[in-house]
Amino acid sequence: METVFDGVKCITTSTGGANDRNNLYIVEGDDYAAVIDPGYEAASAANIEDQIEQSHENKPIKYILLTDWYEEHWSGASSIKTITNGTIISSEYDSARINRDSKTELIDEHLVDGGIIDLGGRKLKKIDTPGHTPGSSCYLIQNEGILFSGDCILPNTSTAIDPDEGGNMSDYVESLRKIQASEVNRILSFHGNPIESPKKRLGNLIKIREDRDTQILGMLSVNPGSVETIWKSIYGERNLTGYLLEASKKQIEAHIIKLETEKKLNKLTQGHLTTYQTISNSR
C-alpha cells in the first residue's frame, strides 16, 4: 500500500492489459474512510484484502464507492463489504448493470450528482461524468482539489467510448469540460500514475476529440459513407489487434454518432453503420 499523500492511500495491481496499472484508493477522514473502485483479480485477493482489513482496523471503512459499471472497478466490492460492513455506492444509472453482472443486489445506495460523502473533516463530492458509461462518476475531495477520476480521465491514453456499451462521445466531451471548469489541482485515475497538471491534460483530451471530429467530418465531406476509408487513414498503419482493434473501430462510430447528433453531417453518412459493420467483419 502506497501513501499518495496525507490520508490518501493506493493499492496497485498489474493486469497485463492495455491499461496495466489499476489503482484502488483509500481516502481517510477524521472519523471514517472510503474505498474507491475495489476491483481486483482472484490471484491478488488475499494480499489486497489483508491490506484492507489492516486499514479498516486503523480507520473504519464506511463507504465503498464505484465510478462505473465495468467489473474491473467492483469485482472485490462484495469481499470488502464482508470485511468492513461498508455501504456500496454507485450512480443510479450504472446500478442495474452492476447488479446484473454481479448476479447479486450488490449496490446498497445511489448518490446523485453533487452528493456528499462525509468522512469527518474531509468530504468527497460526487460529480456525474457520463460518457464512458451512462453513470460514470468522479469524486472530488472538497477544499483540496483532489479528483478521483475512475476511467473518465486517464494519464497516458484516451478513454474508450463504446456506443454498444452505453458510451456516448457527446456526453464524454461535456464531462471533460465540466471537470475543466472545476477546482481540480491533481487527478488520481483508476489507471496509471497521478496527473499533476490536470488543466493541461484536460485541454489535451478535449482537443484530441475536437480534432478527430474535424478529421472525420472532412473525410466524410469528400467521401460520404466511407467509414472503412476513415479507419484505414487513422488507424490502418498501427497493426492493432484484439481489444485495441475493436476499440479503434468504436471510437470512429462514437464520433460519427456525435457529429450526427450535433447535426453536422446532415445526410453525408446515411448507411454508415452498415459500412462500419462491413469493416468490422472484414478484419
pLDDT digit string, tens, across residues 148-191: 999 999 998 899 999 999 999 999 999 999 999 999 999 999 99
Is the Cβ–Cβ distance between 108 and 87 less than 8 Å? yes
- For range 100-112, the mean pLDDT: 95
Gap between the Cα atoms of 74 and 36, Å rounded: 9
Gap between the Cα atoms of 147 and 216, Å rounded: 32
- Residue 58 predicted with pLDDT over 90: yes
- Does residue 229 belong to any structural domain of this protein? yes
Instruction: Say yes or no: 191 and 211 in one domain.
Output: no
Residue 236's domain comprises: 207-282
Instruction: Say yes or no: 216 and 128 in one domain.
Output: no
Total of domains in the chain: 2
- For range 194-217, the mean pLDDT: 95
Pick the last residue of a domain from 196, 224, 244: 196
- Does residue 148 belong to any structural domain of this protein? yes
Is the Cβ–Cβ distance between 35 and 24 less than 8 Å? yes
Q: What is the DSSP string of 129-180?
A: -TTSSTT-EEEEETTTTEEEEETSS-SSSPPP--GGGT--HHHHHHHHHHHH
Across the chain, which distance is largest between two alpha carbons, in Å?
64
Instruction: Say yes or no: 184 and 269 in one domain.
Output: no
What is the rounded average pLDDT for all residues in the chain?
89
Whole-prediction pTM value? 0.89
pLDDT band at 103 (very low <50, low <70, confident <90, very high): very high
Is the Cβ–Cβ distance between 197 and 233 less than 8 Å? no
Instruction: Say yes or no: 189 and 69 in one domain.
Output: yes
* Helix, strand and coil in the chain, % to nearest 5: 40, 20, 35
- Residue 275 predicted with pLDDT over 60: no
pLDDT for position 269:
47
Least confident of 57-66, 101-110, 274-283: 274-283
Rounded percentage of the chain residues whose pLDDT exceeds 90: 71
Pick the last residue of a domain from 166, 196, 226: 196
Instruction: Say yes or no: 97 and 221 in one domain.
Output: no
- For range 264-273, the mean pLDDT: 55
14: CATH: 3.60.15.10
DSSP assignment letter at 63: E
pLDDT band at 81 (very low <50, low <70, confident <90, very high): very high
